[in-house]
Amino acid sequence: MNKKGSNIKLIALDMDGTLLNENHQVTNENRQAIKQAEQKGINVVLSTGRSLRTARDYVLSLELSSYLVTVNGGEIWGPNGELVEVNPVDTEQIKWMYELSKKHNAGFWVTSREEVWRNNLPEDLFSQRWLKFGFEIEEDEIRGRVLTELKAKDLFEISNSSPKNIEVNALGINKAKGLQKVCELLGITMENVMAIGDSLNDIAMITEAGLGIAMGNAQAVVKEAADDVTGTNQDSGVAQAIHKWVLD
């Protein structure tokens, strides 16, 4: 175990591009390392841009017994499946982002507390409780224009989960904010956290954690923000980091 890892009481894991390989599976190496960390009394928390619906099966498969941070901090779930906190996006802003997507002919998805909508929205926007708006844009120039308009509003937390998308949460809501709440509930601090991720929506937790780890397949800016870089998601980089910093 490295000295910086001796104080770790919580491991926060992004899912896509981090815990999961390209087939959206958890490798046996990752599974075993997580189990060993839990046996040492360390909390393992998935901190993801996914909704509960698309994260839950992994939590059950891994038999995790701690908290869960979903939708980039939009929701925090307790060990017994109870909703601890919800941080919504204003419906009027969802409407504005929908218009922005139409203006630039951009693909989009929107996560509400009820479901995920792709390239369409319900007639009554106020029938849903919105958590995140995502733009899917292949062309760099168009993505840049959309980013410029989003930033000009100064109302949003802007990140991504791949170089080709933009993810928008309520201002100040991100994975780090969600993990701060989890730490508070567990009686620990962010200094006790090792956070592992690969995309812009992971930077806040990587920089605010006591130990921030970027995946080998992470975006360059994420690697620059991290304390260390582990293997790729295809090579069980999560297991490598857990062994290096916590177990060995």
Q: Say whether 191 sits in a helix, a strand or coil.
A: helix
213's tokens: 């780890």
Is 14 annotated in the active site? yes
The DSSP call for residue 81 is S
Calpha distance 77→118 (Å, rounded)? 24
Tell me the sheet residues that pair with 129. none
Catalytic residue chosen out of the listed positions 14, 16, 198, 202 = 14
What would the DSSP string read from start to end of 100-159? HHHHTT-EEEEEESS-EEES---S-GGGS-EEEEEEE---HHHHHHHHHHHHHHT-EEEE
9's tokens: 């009481």
Calpha distance 214→196 (Å, rounded)? 6
The DSSP call for residue 209 is S
C-beta separation of 67 from 182 below 8 A: yes
List active site positions: 14
